[in-house]
Structure 1
Amino acid sequence: MSDYSIIQKDLYRESGKWLSTIEVWMKCLNPNLHFVYILRKAQKHNKKNMVGLFWKLVLRKYQIKYGFQIYPETTIGEGLYLGHWGCLVINPKAKIGKNCNIAQGVTIGQQNRGKKMGSPIINDDVWIGANAVIVGGVTIGRNVLIAPNSYVNFDVPENSIVTGNPAIVYPNLKATEGYINNKV
Protein backbone atom coordinates (compact mmCIF):
# COMPACT_ATOMS: atom_id res chain seq x y z
CA MET A 1 0.00 0.00 0.00
CA SER A 2 1.45 3.39 -0.90
CA ASP A 3 1.93 6.18 1.63
CA TYR A 4 -0.45 8.33 -0.39
CA SER A 5 -3.31 5.92 0.16
CA ILE A 6 -2.59 5.84 3.90
CA ILE A 7 -2.50 9.65 3.97
CA GLN A 8 -5.73 9.75 1.95
CA LYS A 9 -7.37 7.39 4.45
CA ASP A 10 -6.22 9.50 7.38
CA LEU A 11 -7.57 12.67 5.75
CA TYR A 12 -10.79 10.89 4.75
CA ARG A 13 -11.55 10.45 8.45
CA GLU A 14 -11.73 14.25 8.82
CA SER A 15 -13.48 15.22 5.60
CA GLY A 16 -15.50 12.15 4.63
CA LYS A 17 -14.32 12.39 1.03
CA TRP A 18 -11.33 11.42 -1.09
CA LEU A 19 -9.17 14.44 -1.82
CA SER A 20 -7.26 15.69 -4.84
CA THR A 21 -3.59 16.62 -4.43
CA ILE A 22 -4.52 20.31 -4.06
CA GLU A 23 -7.14 19.47 -1.43
CA VAL A 24 -4.58 17.39 0.49
CA TRP A 25 -2.27 20.40 0.63
CA MET A 26 -5.18 22.63 1.70
CA LYS A 27 -6.02 20.22 4.53
CA CYS A 28 -2.42 20.51 5.71
CA LEU A 29 -3.20 24.04 6.90
CA ASN A 30 -4.86 22.29 9.85
CA PRO A 31 -2.07 21.49 12.39
CA ASN A 32 -3.49 18.04 13.25
CA LEU A 33 -3.72 16.95 9.62
CA HIS A 34 -0.37 18.54 8.76
CA PHE A 35 1.31 16.56 11.52
CA VAL A 36 -0.34 13.29 10.42
CA TYR A 37 0.86 13.94 6.84
CA ILE A 38 4.46 14.45 8.01
CA LEU A 39 4.27 11.46 10.39
CA ARG A 40 3.16 9.19 7.54
CA LYS A 41 5.98 10.46 5.30
CA ALA A 42 8.50 9.82 8.10
CA GLN A 43 7.05 6.32 8.62
CA LYS A 44 7.35 5.54 4.92
CA HIS A 45 10.97 6.74 4.75
CA ASN A 46 12.06 5.34 8.13
CA LYS A 47 15.39 4.11 6.77
CA LYS A 48 18.96 5.09 7.41
CA ASN A 49 19.45 7.20 4.29
CA MET A 50 19.27 10.90 3.38
CA VAL A 51 15.53 10.86 2.61
CA GLY A 52 14.80 9.11 5.91
CA LEU A 53 16.97 11.58 7.81
CA PHE A 54 15.24 14.50 6.09
CA TRP A 55 11.75 13.30 7.09
CA LYS A 56 12.90 12.54 10.65
CA LEU A 57 14.21 16.11 10.98
CA VAL A 58 11.00 17.56 9.55
CA LEU A 59 8.95 15.38 11.91
CA ARG A 60 11.07 16.48 14.88
CA LYS A 61 10.49 20.13 14.02
CA TYR A 62 6.71 19.63 13.96
CA GLN A 63 6.72 17.47 17.08
CA ILE A 64 8.10 20.50 18.91
CA LYS A 65 5.89 23.01 17.10
CA TYR A 66 2.57 21.18 17.62
CA GLY A 67 3.29 19.28 20.84
CA PHE A 68 2.82 15.77 19.43
CA GLN A 69 5.33 13.17 20.57
CA ILE A 70 4.67 10.37 18.09
CA TYR A 71 7.59 8.60 16.45
CA PRO A 72 7.89 6.95 13.03
CA GLU A 73 8.59 3.62 14.75
CA THR A 74 5.11 3.59 16.27
CA THR A 75 2.79 1.14 14.51
CA ILE A 76 -0.39 3.02 13.60
CA GLY A 77 -3.16 1.71 11.35
CA GLU A 78 -4.82 3.74 8.62
CA GLY A 79 -7.54 6.21 9.48
CA LEU A 80 -5.73 7.94 12.36
CA TYR A 81 -7.58 11.03 13.59
CA LEU A 82 -6.04 13.48 16.04
CA GLY A 83 -8.93 15.52 17.42
CA HIS A 84 -7.01 18.53 18.71
CA TRP A 85 -3.37 19.47 18.66
CA GLY A 86 -0.97 19.65 21.55
CA CYS A 87 0.42 17.58 24.41
CA LEU A 88 0.09 14.10 22.97
CA VAL A 89 2.60 11.38 23.94
CA ILE A 90 2.67 7.92 22.35
CA ASN A 91 5.42 5.42 23.12
CA PRO A 92 7.27 4.22 19.99
CA LYS A 93 6.57 0.58 20.95
CA ALA A 94 2.80 1.09 21.19
CA LYS A 95 0.58 -0.45 18.51
CA ILE A 96 -2.56 1.38 17.38
CA GLY A 97 -5.17 -0.10 15.03
CA LYS A 98 -7.34 1.38 12.29
CA ASN A 99 -9.86 4.20 12.72
CA CYS A 100 -8.62 5.45 16.08
CA ASN A 101 -9.44 8.90 17.42
CA ILE A 102 -7.01 10.41 19.90
CA ALA A 103 -7.76 13.72 21.67
CA GLN A 104 -5.36 16.21 23.22
CA GLY A 105 -3.45 15.49 26.41
CA VAL A 106 -3.46 11.71 25.89
CA THR A 107 -0.53 9.59 27.08
CA ILE A 108 -0.05 6.08 25.71
CA GLY A 109 2.99 4.94 27.61
CA GLN A 110 5.26 2.12 28.60
CA GLN A 111 5.43 0.51 32.02
CA ASN A 112 8.94 -0.57 32.98
CA ARG A 113 8.25 -3.04 35.77
CA GLY A 114 5.62 -5.33 37.20
CA LYS A 115 3.28 -7.85 35.61
CA LYS A 116 2.00 -5.34 33.01
CA MET A 117 5.48 -4.34 31.84
CA GLY A 118 5.49 -3.17 28.21
CA SER A 119 3.52 -0.88 25.88
CA PRO A 120 -0.19 -0.83 25.00
CA ILE A 121 -1.82 -2.53 22.03
CA ILE A 122 -4.89 -0.62 20.91
CA ASN A 123 -7.17 -2.38 18.44
CA ASP A 124 -9.41 -0.92 15.71
CA ASP A 125 -12.20 1.60 16.24
CA VAL A 126 -11.05 3.05 19.58
CA TRP A 127 -11.92 6.57 20.72
CA ILE A 128 -9.60 8.04 23.37
CA GLY A 129 -10.81 11.18 25.16
CA ALA A 130 -8.83 14.19 26.35
CA ASN A 131 -6.20 13.63 29.04
CA ALA A 132 -6.73 9.86 29.16
CA VAL A 133 -3.73 7.75 30.16
CA ILE A 134 -3.13 4.19 28.92
CA VAL A 135 0.00 2.54 30.32
CA GLY A 136 1.65 -0.84 30.38
CA GLY A 137 1.49 -4.02 28.37
CA VAL A 138 -2.29 -3.89 28.09
CA THR A 139 -4.64 -4.65 25.22
CA ILE A 140 -7.59 -2.42 24.38
CA GLY A 141 -10.24 -4.31 22.37
CA ARG A 142 -12.18 -3.18 19.29
CA ASN A 143 -15.01 -0.65 19.61
CA VAL A 144 -13.87 0.85 22.91
CA LEU A 145 -14.51 4.38 24.13
CA ILE A 146 -12.07 5.62 26.77
CA ALA A 147 -13.63 8.63 28.46
CA PRO A 148 -11.67 11.83 29.15
CA ASN A 149 -9.40 11.77 32.21
CA SER A 150 -9.52 7.98 32.52
CA TYR A 151 -6.50 6.00 33.73
CA VAL A 152 -6.25 2.56 32.11
CA ASN A 153 -3.59 0.07 33.22
CA PHE A 154 -5.48 -3.16 32.54
CA ASP A 155 -6.85 -5.06 29.54
CA VAL A 156 -10.18 -3.75 28.21
CA PRO A 157 -12.54 -6.14 26.40
CA GLU A 158 -14.06 -5.13 23.07
CA ASN A 159 -17.40 -3.28 22.95
CA SER A 160 -16.80 -1.33 26.17
CA ILE A 161 -16.83 2.14 27.63
CA VAL A 162 -14.08 2.93 30.14
CA THR A 163 -14.45 5.84 32.51
CA GLY A 164 -12.80 7.21 35.64
CA ASN A 165 -9.72 6.93 37.78
CA PRO A 166 -9.62 4.16 38.86
CA ALA A 167 -11.25 3.14 35.60
CA ILE A 168 -14.48 1.18 35.45
CA VAL A 169 -15.49 -0.84 32.36
CA TYR A 170 -19.09 -0.80 31.12
CA PRO A 171 -20.05 -3.25 28.35
CA ASN A 172 -21.70 -1.47 25.41
CA LEU A 173 -22.16 -2.81 21.87
CA LYS A 174 -22.47 0.77 20.54
CA ALA A 175 -19.57 2.23 22.52
CA THR A 176 -18.11 4.34 19.70
CA GLU A 177 -21.25 4.89 17.62
CA GLY A 178 -21.35 8.59 16.71
CA TYR A 179 -17.81 9.13 17.98
CA ILE A 180 -15.82 7.52 15.16
CA ASN A 181 -17.01 8.92 11.83
CA ASN A 182 -15.94 8.20 8.25
CA LYS A 183 -14.34 4.82 8.91
CA VAL A 184 -11.99 3.49 6.24
Structure 2
Amino acid sequence: MADQHSTLQKDFYRESGKWLSTFEIWAKCINPNLHFIYVLRKSQKYKNTPFLKIVWKFILRHYQIKYGFQIYPETEIGEGFYLGHWGSLVINPNAKIGKNCNIAQGVTIGQQNRGKNIGFPTIGDEVWIGTNAVIVGGVIIGNNVLIAPNSYVNFDVPANSVVMGNPGKIYESENATEGYINNKV
Protein backbone atom coordinates (compact mmCIF):
# COMPACT_ATOMS: atom_id res chain seq x y z
CA MET A 1 0.00 0.00 0.00
CA ALA A 2 1.39 3.39 -0.98
CA ASP A 3 1.94 6.04 1.66
CA GLN A 4 -1.16 8.25 1.72
CA HIS A 5 0.48 11.30 3.28
CA SER A 6 2.37 13.96 1.33
CA THR A 7 5.79 15.27 2.30
CA LEU A 8 4.12 18.51 3.40
CA GLN A 9 1.72 16.62 5.69
CA LYS A 10 4.67 14.74 7.17
CA ASP A 11 6.50 18.02 7.85
CA PHE A 12 3.46 19.43 9.64
CA TYR A 13 2.91 16.16 11.53
CA ARG A 14 6.31 16.69 13.18
CA GLU A 15 5.02 19.92 14.78
CA SER A 16 1.69 18.66 16.15
CA GLY A 17 1.79 14.86 16.12
CA LYS A 18 -1.50 14.91 14.19
CA TRP A 19 -2.31 14.30 10.54
CA LEU A 20 -3.80 17.51 9.20
CA SER A 21 -6.14 18.27 6.33
CA THR A 22 -5.12 20.76 3.66
CA PHE A 23 -7.20 23.44 5.39
CA GLU A 24 -5.62 22.70 8.80
CA ILE A 25 -2.16 22.91 7.25
CA TRP A 26 -3.01 26.24 5.69
CA ALA A 27 -4.39 27.52 9.04
CA LYS A 28 -1.15 26.57 10.82
CA CYS A 29 0.81 28.75 8.40
CA ILE A 30 0.35 31.62 10.86
CA ASN A 31 3.51 30.15 12.44
CA PRO A 32 6.51 31.58 10.49
CA ASN A 33 8.45 28.28 10.58
CA LEU A 34 5.56 26.26 9.21
CA HIS A 35 4.66 28.98 6.71
CA PHE A 36 8.19 28.90 5.32
CA ILE A 37 8.17 25.08 5.11
CA TYR A 38 4.85 25.27 3.24
CA VAL A 39 6.26 27.72 0.67
CA LEU A 40 9.55 25.77 0.38
CA ARG A 41 7.75 22.47 -0.28
CA LYS A 42 5.48 24.10 -2.90
CA SER A 43 8.56 25.59 -4.52
CA GLN A 44 10.20 22.14 -4.57
CA LYS A 45 7.04 20.50 -5.91
CA TYR A 46 6.83 22.85 -8.89
CA LYS A 47 10.55 23.31 -9.63
CA ASN A 48 10.18 21.48 -12.97
CA THR A 49 6.98 23.24 -14.11
CA PRO A 50 8.03 26.34 -16.11
CA PHE A 51 5.44 28.95 -15.07
CA LEU A 52 4.78 27.66 -11.55
CA LYS A 53 8.52 27.37 -10.94
CA ILE A 54 8.90 31.12 -11.46
CA VAL A 55 5.83 31.98 -9.36
CA TRP A 56 6.84 29.80 -6.39
CA LYS A 57 10.50 30.84 -6.59
CA PHE A 58 9.42 34.49 -6.39
CA ILE A 59 7.15 33.73 -3.41
CA LEU A 60 9.93 31.72 -1.73
CA ARG A 61 12.41 34.58 -2.20
CA HIS A 62 9.99 36.96 -0.49
CA TYR A 63 9.73 34.69 2.55
CA GLN A 64 13.47 33.98 2.61
CA ILE A 65 13.99 37.70 3.16
CA LYS A 66 11.05 38.10 5.54
CA TYR A 67 11.92 35.17 7.84
CA GLY A 68 15.70 34.94 7.40
CA PHE A 69 15.74 31.37 6.06
CA GLN A 70 18.12 30.84 3.14
CA ILE A 71 16.95 27.44 1.88
CA TYR A 72 16.47 26.79 -1.82
CA PRO A 73 14.16 24.46 -3.78
CA GLU A 74 17.22 22.58 -5.09
CA THR A 75 18.17 21.45 -1.58
CA GLU A 76 17.29 17.78 -1.04
CA ILE A 77 15.41 17.58 2.26
CA GLY A 78 13.69 14.44 3.49
CA GLU A 79 10.17 14.30 4.87
CA GLY A 80 9.49 15.28 8.44
CA PHE A 81 11.62 18.45 8.22
CA TYR A 82 11.32 20.64 11.32
CA LEU A 83 12.56 24.19 11.90
CA GLY A 84 12.69 24.86 15.64
CA HIS A 85 12.75 28.65 15.52
CA TRP A 86 12.74 31.22 12.78
CA GLY A 87 15.53 33.52 11.74
CA SER A 88 19.03 33.42 10.33
CA LEU A 89 19.41 29.99 8.78
CA VAL A 90 21.64 29.21 5.78
CA ILE A 91 21.63 25.89 3.90
CA ASN A 92 23.64 25.47 0.71
CA PRO A 93 21.44 24.36 -2.22
CA ASN A 94 23.71 21.34 -2.82
CA ALA A 95 23.46 20.02 0.74
CA LYS A 96 21.43 16.86 1.36
CA ILE A 97 19.35 16.40 4.51
CA GLY A 98 17.64 13.16 5.54
CA LYS A 99 14.22 12.63 7.06
CA ASN A 100 13.03 13.66 10.54
CA CYS A 101 15.70 16.33 10.95
CA ASN A 102 15.44 19.32 13.29
CA ILE A 103 17.35 22.51 12.63
CA ALA A 104 17.45 25.44 15.06
CA GLN A 105 18.08 29.13 14.35
CA GLY A 106 21.49 30.48 13.44
CA VAL A 107 22.63 27.24 11.76
CA THR A 108 24.88 27.25 8.70
CA ILE A 109 25.16 24.17 6.49
CA GLY A 110 27.64 25.27 3.87
CA GLN A 111 30.17 24.63 1.18
CA GLN A 112 33.91 24.30 1.62
CA ASN A 113 35.94 25.48 -1.38
CA ARG A 114 39.39 24.15 -0.55
CA GLY A 115 41.21 21.56 1.51
CA LYS A 116 40.48 17.88 1.97
CA ASN A 117 36.73 18.35 2.49
CA ILE A 118 35.80 20.34 -0.60
CA GLY A 119 32.07 20.08 -1.19
CA PHE A 120 28.74 20.06 0.59
CA PRO A 121 27.41 18.24 3.66
CA THR A 122 25.25 15.13 3.51
CA ILE A 123 23.16 14.77 6.65
CA GLY A 124 21.49 11.49 7.60
CA ASP A 125 18.09 10.73 9.14
CA GLU A 126 17.02 11.83 12.62
CA VAL A 127 19.67 14.49 13.07
CA TRP A 128 19.14 17.32 15.55
CA ILE A 129 21.20 20.46 14.86
CA GLY A 130 21.34 23.03 17.68
CA THR A 131 21.43 26.80 17.64
CA ASN A 132 24.37 28.43 15.83
CA ALA A 133 25.96 25.13 14.80
CA VAL A 134 28.08 25.18 11.64
CA ILE A 135 28.49 22.17 9.34
CA VAL A 136 30.76 22.75 6.33
CA GLY A 137 32.40 20.78 3.58
CA GLY A 138 31.93 17.44 1.89
CA VAL A 139 31.26 15.70 5.17
CA ILE A 140 28.82 12.93 6.02
CA ILE A 141 26.74 13.13 9.18
CA GLY A 142 25.31 9.70 10.11
CA ASN A 143 21.82 8.84 11.38
CA ASN A 144 20.76 9.58 14.98
CA VAL A 145 23.27 12.39 15.53
CA LEU A 146 22.89 15.36 17.85
CA ILE A 147 25.01 18.39 16.99
CA ALA A 148 25.09 20.58 20.08
CA PRO A 149 24.57 24.35 19.92
CA ASN A 150 27.60 26.37 18.77
CA SER A 151 29.44 23.30 17.46
CA TYR A 152 31.73 23.51 14.43
CA VAL A 153 31.70 20.37 12.28
CA ASN A 154 34.05 20.00 9.29
CA PHE A 155 34.58 16.24 9.62
CA ASP A 156 32.52 13.07 9.16
CA VAL A 157 30.35 12.06 12.12
CA PRO A 158 29.39 8.40 12.59
CA ALA A 159 25.82 7.35 13.36
CA ASN A 160 24.66 7.34 17.00
CA SER A 161 26.85 10.23 18.11
CA VAL A 162 26.78 13.58 19.84
CA VAL A 163 29.08 16.37 18.62
CA MET A 164 30.01 19.24 20.95
CA GLY A 165 32.36 22.17 20.80
CA ASN A 166 34.55 24.21 18.52
CA PRO A 167 36.43 22.35 17.26
CA GLY A 168 33.80 19.64 17.55
CA LYS A 169 34.43 16.49 19.52
CA ILE A 170 32.48 13.25 18.91
CA TYR A 171 30.89 11.28 21.75
CA GLU A 172 29.28 7.91 21.02
CA SER A 173 25.64 7.68 22.13
CA GLU A 174 23.01 5.10 21.12
CA ASN A 175 20.27 7.51 22.33
CA ALA A 176 21.76 10.68 20.85
CA THR A 177 18.48 12.23 19.70
CA GLU A 178 16.03 10.53 22.06
CA GLY A 179 13.66 13.18 23.41
CA TYR A 180 14.93 15.73 20.88
CA ILE A 181 13.20 14.47 17.75
CA ASN A 182 9.49 13.94 18.35
CA ASN A 183 6.59 12.79 16.15
CA LYS A 184 8.78 10.91 13.69
CA VAL A 185 7.27 9.93 10.34
Fold-level match, TM-score > 0.5? yes
User: Separation in 2 of the partners of 1:14 and 1:120?
Assistant: 25
Provide structure 2 residue ranges, at least 5 long, that are not aligned to the other structure.
none
User: Separation in 2 of the partners of 1:155 and 1:23?
Assistant: 39
Residue in 2 that maps onto 1:175? 176
Residue in 2 that maps onto 1:76? 77
1:161 corresponds to 2:128: no
In the TM superposition, what whole-angstrom CA distance separates every residue of 1:98-122 from its partner, at most 9, and x where no partner exists?
0000000000000011110000000
User: Separation in 2 of the partners of 1:136 and 1:22?
Assistant: 40
1:141 corresponds to 2:139: no
Q: CA RMSD in A?
A: 1.2
Residue in 2 that maps onto 1:23? 24
In the TM superposition, what whole-angstrom CA distance separates every residue of 1:48-82 from its partner, at most 9, and x where no partner exists?
61111000000000000000000000000000000
Q: Which amino acid aligns with 1:93?
A: N
1:8 corresponds to 2:19: no
In the TM superposition, what whole-angstrom CA distance separates every residue of 1:11-45 from its partner, at most 9, and x where no partner exists?
00000000122211111000000000000000011
User: Separation in 2 of the partners of 1:129 and 1:115?
Assistant: 25
Residue in 2 that maps onto 1:110? 111
Larger displacement relative to structure 2 (41-50 or 59-68): 41-50
In the TM superposition, what whole-angstrom CA distance separates every residue of 1:116-158 from its partner, at most 9, and x where no partner exists?
0000000000000000000000000000000000000000000
User: Separation in 2 of the partners of 1:6 and 1:27?
Assistant: 16
User: Separation in 1 of the partners of 2:70 and 2:39?
Assistant: 13
Give 1:57-96 correspondences, 5 Å limit.
Answer: 57-96=58-97
Percent identity of equivalent pairs: 73
User: Separation in 1 of the partners of 2:49 and 2:116?
Assistant: 35
User: Separation in 2 of the partners of 1:47 and 1:158?
Assistant: 34
Q: Which amino acid aligns with 1:9?
A: K
User: Separation in 2 of the partners of 1:163 and 1:67?
Assistant: 25
Q: Which amino acid aligns with 1:144?
A: V
- CA shift, 1:47, in A, is 2.3
SS across alignment from 2:109: strand
Provide structure 1 residue ranges, at least 5 long, that are not aligned to the other structure.
none
